[in-house]
Amino acid sequence: MIVLIMVLTITSFAACSNNKQAAEDQEKATGIQEEAAEKPEEAEQISVKVAAPTGAPTLSMIRMFKEQPSFGDHVNIQYESVQSPDLMASRLLSGEVDIAVVPTNLAASLYHRGADFQLVASSVWGVLYMVGNEEIDQWEDLKGKDIHTLGRGLTPDIILRYVLSGNGIDPDQDVNLHYMGGATELAPAFTAGQIDLAVIPEPALTNILMNREDAVVLYNLQEEWSRLNEGYSSYPQASLIISRDLIDNQRAFVDAFLEEYESSIDWLFENRELAGEYSEELEVGMRKGAVVQGLERMNIEYQHASEAKPSIEAYIRVLLEAAPDTVGGKELDDNFYMEK
């Protein structure tokens, strides 16, 4: 009997011990789960390369270039101003650049070549102006004159020819078009008096107006485009594209970046002096005076792809008819644009 009582006692004690241990184990497990729930999951580390051509595209994000706003400790961003369009294209195709402001026709061409990007917004709405050394009263007055320009077969040439034709001037018969290597060659030649009539982009135009007293802006080609294309304020010369990988897998960052980019553009017009200082300091091809005095003529305005799409399509149609190779030879589909 005594043995039986001892066995029962030991068995009861073991059961209690086991129950106590089980309770402690459960409490410990619950504590670990609660601790894990309280501890936030670490964000994935991402590295992003942002690039823009010199001129108005870089200016559109000059505050971001200089101040480098934070998108979180897990995001590392590098900014670069690129001079050569060919260099920009090769970097985009190779995946070296994740976000870029590029000529809209280049974005279309790269898309048709398989580049895995989407157009997210348009931000530069034309920077081309016809400048002369005396006033003219009408387009007819251009007949027989020499017009110096740049970009044979490219956007500046296509826009000029389109506007001339729309105003009754045959660009191959009524005027003599002369092509120079670029704005860095064209602007000094006009300033020196070697040329009396030219199509000049900003910011080079402002440098001319600052250095040649008799220079007169004859035509704003953006306004002429709008007049010939009723319902469109201008043509989207440059747009922001972002890699599909970022859009699909880092959408929170993409949305934050777009908000910052739009804010950076708004900031420009309230801080043009500081923007000019940033431009000089970063050596992105614009002097402070050109930024301060020429900002309005650079036509920098943020429009999300959903807003800009009709203007982009109208622009691409004109380029497709004039020079199919500049836009990849065919029209764009809806996958080209990022949905809002």
Structural domains of the chain in order of their starting residue, each with its CATH number: 46-125+235-336 (3.40.190.10), 128-228 (3.40.190.10)
In this predicted structure, what is the pLDDT of residue 321?
Answer: 94
Which residue ranges of the chain lie beneath pLDDT 70? 1-43
The answer to whether the CB of 109 falls within 8 A of the CB of 328 is yes
Q: Is the dihedral of CA 53, 55, 59, 60 positive or negative?
A: negative
pLDDT at res. 3? 37
159 neighbors 235 (Cβ within 8 angstroms): yes
Phi, psi of 48 (to 5 degrees): -130, 135
Amino acid at 251: R
pLDDT score at 182: 86
CA gap 103, 105 in Å, rounded: 5
Output the pLDDT for position 41. 56
The side-by-side arrangement of strands in the sheet containing 238-243 is: 75-82, 46-53, 99-103, 238-243, 117-124, 300-304
In the block, tokens 């497990």 appear at 29
Query: Percent helix, strand, coil in the chain (nearest 5)?
Result: 55, 20, 30
Q: pTM value?
A: 0.85
Closest CA to 50 of 242, 236, 252: 242
Residue pair 272/292 in contact by the 8 Å Cβ criterion: yes
Q: What is the percentage of the chain residues whose pLDDT exceeds 90? A: 76
Q: How many CB atoms lie within 10 A of CB 281?
A: 12
DSSP 48: E
Gyration radius from the chain CA atoms: 30
Distance separating alpha carbons of residues 74 and 48, to the nearest angstrom = 11
Residue 206: both structure tokens together:
């402002």
pLDDT the model gives residue 4? 33
